[in-house]
Homo-oligomer: A and B are copies of this chain.
Amino acid sequence: METHHEPAPIELGMLAPEGDLPVAGQAPRRRADAQRNHERVLCTARRLFAERGPQQVSMDLIAAEAGVGKGTIFRAFGDKSGLVGTILGDDESPLQDALIRGPSPLGPGAPPLDRIIAFGEAYMAFLESHLDLLLASELGLGVRFAKGPFQLYRTHVSLLVREALGDSDVDADYTADVLLTPLAADFFAYQRRGRGRSIEELCDAYRCLAARVLSGR
């Protein structure tokens, strides 16, 4: 796995192809101890999050267990949601890859509605398995929308919406945002836990929703 970002904290872009150096030329190289700490923290955090849930794990605890100072974690990941986001990012990239290069209907080739539905279902599977982490990574208000992965999904769905609706005068960007909200962690958590919906129900409902929303006009 490529490790990300060096200078300022706050990252998890995912959009950049690979490598972890800014442009070309001479790489700013990352110091050996930094690299080691980065991995230690990530590994410790993964374990603790899995053991007791992200809400129950304080940054102090992660620092102590990983044997590093608190400042080190914050320099490397910006803040708690950055740390969670980095962990999520690793698990999320196969999906992102499948969207771009994978087989139909998730990848290119299928009609847009089918692709949107395939994406919705695939993402819901991801939601189901990473719900607590996702909830923890969206702590800030409205911050979700500014996050790296969201941009990719937004672009993806927006393109598909445009393709599906042709040159209708429907607002494609807005439609894409609306189609993404049922895939937001808090919405999904409410449906699953608050209202006791099953994943099958939610997939059905999403399929039906997408079809109606994209019914040309």
Contact = CB atoms under 8 A, between A and B. Distances in A.
Contacts of A138: 141
A191 B178 contact: no
A36 interface: no
A173 B189 CA distance: 15
Interface stretch (A9-17, A43-51, A203-211): A203-211
B135 A186 contact: no
A174 B120 CA distance: 15
Interface string A190-217: 1100110100011011001100111101
Contacts of A195: 173
A181 B187 contact: yes
A202 to B, nearest CB: 8
A182 interface: yes
A154 B173 CA distance: 25
Contact of A177 (B135, B139, B175, B187): B187
Interface residues of A, number: 39
A144 to B, nearest CB: 7
Nearest to A213: B212
A116 to B, nearest CB: 14
A164 B174 CA distance: 23
20 contacts: A135-B141, A138-B141, A141-B185, A141-B189, A142-B185, A142-B194, A145-B186, A145-B190, A146-B194, A170-B208, A170-B212, A171-B205, A174-B197, A174-B209, A177-B187, A178-B182, A181-B181, A181-B184, A181-B187, A209-B213
